[in-house]
Amino acid sequence: MKISARKRSKDANKMNSSANSHNNGSSTECEVVIFLGGRLGPTASFAYVLLVFVMIMSIITCPVTTVLNALVMLVVRTKPRLKTKPNIALGCLATTDWIMGAIGQPLFIAETSLILQGETSSTNCWKIQLSKHILRVLGTASLIHVVLMNVERYIAIKHALAYVTTATGSRILRLSALAWITALLLTVPVAIMDNNIYLTVSNITLSSCMAITIYCQVVIYFETRRHEKQMAAHQVSAETKKKFLKEKKAFKVTTTVVLILILNYAPLIVVRILIVKSVIDSVNVAYICFFITSFVAILNSLINPVIYCVRIRHFRVAFIEIVLRKNNAQAEEFEMQIFGLNAVAPLEQER
């Protein structure tokens, strides 16, 4: 009875939204408005406040996201010590995050502004649809790039001998291009179809990517433990030990990126399912949950370069070199003054 009541309430909101659109002289409402159950009412003051807050935070974080990811791309490209295979994969992900900050977030801000102004009729619907489709492409591309990073780590630790010839910088770049093509093919064709088809394709893509990522993470974890036990039981060369520590550190960075990605995108996926299943039957609650979780998902593009700075000292030093225009020795000294002497040991391990 409760479920049917929720469905009737949502259907009524859709009918009211359709009626309002006819009264305003437009033929249809935008798809996102229909998906959320109708337009925001004039009494939904709390929802308006939260959407304004989301838009303001997006305006603040947008340039920061763009600049930080541009720095990651720049240091990977220009600093020879950072041109490692794991960092090339990170640079490919940073490219996706940079596009999110330079294009995706401004479109999201424009979409939120149109929603707040109530300009969601068919006249302005193409702007909202464009924002939605581009954000979908960028989200899918980010997810596939995370899979690429995990596969690279899997080959490096599980198949160390084949890694030298199998995983090359040019091959990683080609796989990154393939990831973009796949994201476009999974989004653009279904964009002109029914939204339910897209949700089905999206769920299958998400499940496949998560299955590959989890498999790689589990295998790498147990393989790392096995290598640690072997090194403890048998004396190995200093070069072998340093190489293993370097691969382990890269794996930890990848694991952190994966966990943060899940924490950022999981709320949006759950909210989307709850709206489709009519569990969220209030229009105001649907708007609040959908736009807040969408912003949290977009925020992942800002968190990723922060992770690189926190976890990899070479990135911090390279950022200081570029931003403050210092040489490597001056940048290391400046970084040590900020983060302390404890930051020197990880740098020596990386070297």
Task: Please determine, for residue 49, whether its predicted confidence score (pLDDT) is greater than 60.
Answer: yes
What pLDDT is recorded for position 18?
A: 40
pTM of the model: 0.81
Angle at alpha carbon of residue 116, lines to 66 and 142, rounded to 5°: 30
What's the pLDDT tens digit per position in 182-206?
Answer: 999 888 776 666 667 777 777 788 8
Task: Please determine, for residue 285, whether its predicted confidence score (pLDDT) is greater than 60.
Answer: yes
Residue 331 lies in a domain: no
Question: Which residue range forms the structural domain that includes residue 228?
Answer: 2-311
What's the pLDDT tens digit per position in 239-249?
Answer: 777 777 777 77
* CATH number of the domain within which 209 lies: 1.20.1070.10
Residue 321 lies in a domain: no
Residue 186 lies in a domain: yes
Provide φ and ψ at 124, rounded to 5°.
Answer: -105, 5
Residue 342 lies in a domain: no
Residue 101 lies in a domain: yes
What pLDDT is recorded for position 4?
A: 45
What pLDDT is recorded for position 335?
A: 84
Structure tokens at 62: 């947008």
Residue 351 lies in a domain: no
Residue 326 lies in a domain: no
CA distances from 214 to 217, 220, 255, 275, 277 (A): 5, 10, 10, 27, 27
Residue 318 lies in a domain: no
